[in-house]
Structure 1
Amino acid sequence: MTPLLEVRELSVAYGAIEAVRNVSFSVELGQIVCLIGANGAGKTTILRTISGLLRPRAGDILFEGASIAKLPAHEILSRGIAQSPEGRRIFARMTVAENLLLGAYARRDNEVDADMQRVFTLFPVLGERRHQKAGLFSGGEQQMLAIGRAMMSKPRLLMLDEPSMGLSPIMTQRIFDTISELQSQGTTILLVEQNALAALALADRGYVIDLGQSTLEGSGHDLLADQRVRAAYLGEA
């Protein structure tokens, strides 16, 4: 069976600095796949390259069996890949509803209102405050909005970059519960997350990215039990 997403020997550089080197991984339909690693390991660069914001120096990216490595970002979005970026990047002076509508800008169907209601069902606080400016929200509420905005493009693959960054433990758990709920509703998810314990506990499969290279891979359960992972990312001796 062809993976929904397949990254083949991907290398990406910023000028002369190679940030990602020969990284390969795949995401099957319906899975949660996580990339874990330290700051600067290359995880965000990988997502930005999949989204079309960066161009690979070498390698290929296939979505539903077709290469997307040379496509512009708007076409990759229209094919069904959406990203909730690190740092949330919401439009602070716009309302919740306006932010969500921007997530659907490429759509031409008549189900946008129904999908906005779906976001409000997942995140009731967004529905209650839909006419308020997003900059007035807490970090956790802004993260909900960033995920909701990505969902508004109706993606087949939702990429989440550090969704728990800067959040309280209670809000972090809420976000991870939502990720699990999205999977149960049929959304395939590629997750970049520094909270390795939470990410691997949720993931069907995980990959460890270190200094721009993939060094370990396995099921989330197996990586959680791997002593190298536990020592490097879970603080165990």
Structure 2
Amino acid sequence: MQHFIWQSKHILHYKDTRNQLLGEDYASFLSTPLAAGSLPVRQLWQEITDFEQQVSANESTYWLKFELLWREFFRWQMRKHANRWFSKGAVKGALDFAAPALNRAQHLAFTRWCHANTGVDFVDANMRLLNQTGLMSNRGRQNVASYLIHDLAIDWRLGAAYFEQRLLDYDCASNWGNWAYIAGTGNSAERQFNLQKQARLYDADGSFVRAMLLQAPS
């Protein structure tokens, strides 16, 4: 926190760099200590406020606060709807806690998704990063979730459960709330991403895909 906000002042470019996929200082990387409880969210909020008052306030400092408000929103939604978030329809429709059912083709597709072996480079690169490091950028998370749900037609809860096993910064409310958001079972309509367009926008030169896929598998 001291490095990102005060020492290097990377917070001042957060809004411009937060959609990057790999590297140092493009994001705060504070999600893990927040999830682990070693960094109180109120302390982080106050540090950002102090920085705005003492150094500078811009769209980027606001945006990091905005992301914290999203985190808070999901936590209160979890309190409000409780175990409905684990139902197939989450906060929409009738409760359905039946285990996700996959046919043979879906089971194979899900296994390939988990193992970063879908054949879609942008998806596989992000999944390999998750499997190797326990982390993935927000942009990557949205894209691999969209692919699993909308391209492979697989129950979103399986993706949320896999993330639960892998993420170092796993937070129950944020994880399940964001997966439901992509699936359209949360508080808004579904979100489906055009992966080719996303790759062109956020990995235009293919450097992220090359960095992750042109290495020996772990």
What TM-score, normalized by structure 1, do the two folds share?
0.32
Greater strand proportion: 1
Greater helix proportion: 2
What TM-score, normalized by structure 2, do the two folds share?
0.34
